[in-house]
Chain A
């Protein structure tokens, strides 16, 4: 089993739609979790951290389920500018283990 797994997509959704991505991780000792977005040929940029109680930033909501070992990202009212690849990142224990998922591609269609 991969340490961090994401559905590569692509997810093709119309403008205004709600879309959700999941990311599963294998190390139950993982400490912190993040979502990044990466535009084509650009560097990954931090989108949001993922907290145990769940957190929201505008149209974006992140959730953590430690029991089932997955994190999720929900995007409401999708915009064309949301088209990108979304990477989940899991920070392990004190051994400095940071694992990036391979990303889920989102294409928002007019």
Chain B
């Protein structure tokens, strides 16, 4: 997966619990993204980062926070999980704005 590793692969949470999803890359790409994909739906951008120490909101940022303290890692946090956040979460990396994105193999998250 183009040097993109997502952990964990699967997780079940109870409503109100918190957790952090990790995206790690070994490609030295500047840009990193977090998406969610619900069954039968397209990708929706949650947050993204254009470099170490920078983050920005995407299309559906509410209920999520992110951090990019190190260039190779992009963390997605759920402070108080809700059933509506049950989804598959994909991380992607990108060398620059004219290049394609490359995806990790996803984290399947269920919130009961």
Interface residues of A (CB under 8 A from B): 31-32, 34, 36, 41-46, 49, 87, 89, 91-92, 94, 96, 98, 100-103
Contacts and interface: CB of A to CB of B under 8 A. Distances in A.
A106 B42 CA distance: 15
B109 to A, nearest CB: 13
Interface in B91-112: 94, 97-106
9 interchain residue pairs of minimum CB distance: A102-B42, A43-B103, A32-B98, A34-B100, A100-B43, A46-B100, A43-B105, A43-B106, A44-B103
A46 B42 contact: no
Interface of B: 1, 31, 33, 41-43, 45, 48, 50, 88, 90, 94, 97-106
Contact of A91 (B1, B88, B97): B97
B31 A43 contact: no
Nearest to A35: B100
A70 B12 CA distance: 41
A99 B101 CA distance: 11
Given A34-B100, A43-B105, A96 B50 contact: yes
A103 B41 CA distance: 9
B42 A94 contact: no
A46 B93 CA distance: 12
A88 to B, nearest CB: 11
A54 B45 CA distance: 29
A89 B106 contact: no
A87 B98 CA distance: 17
Contacts of B98: 31-32, 91
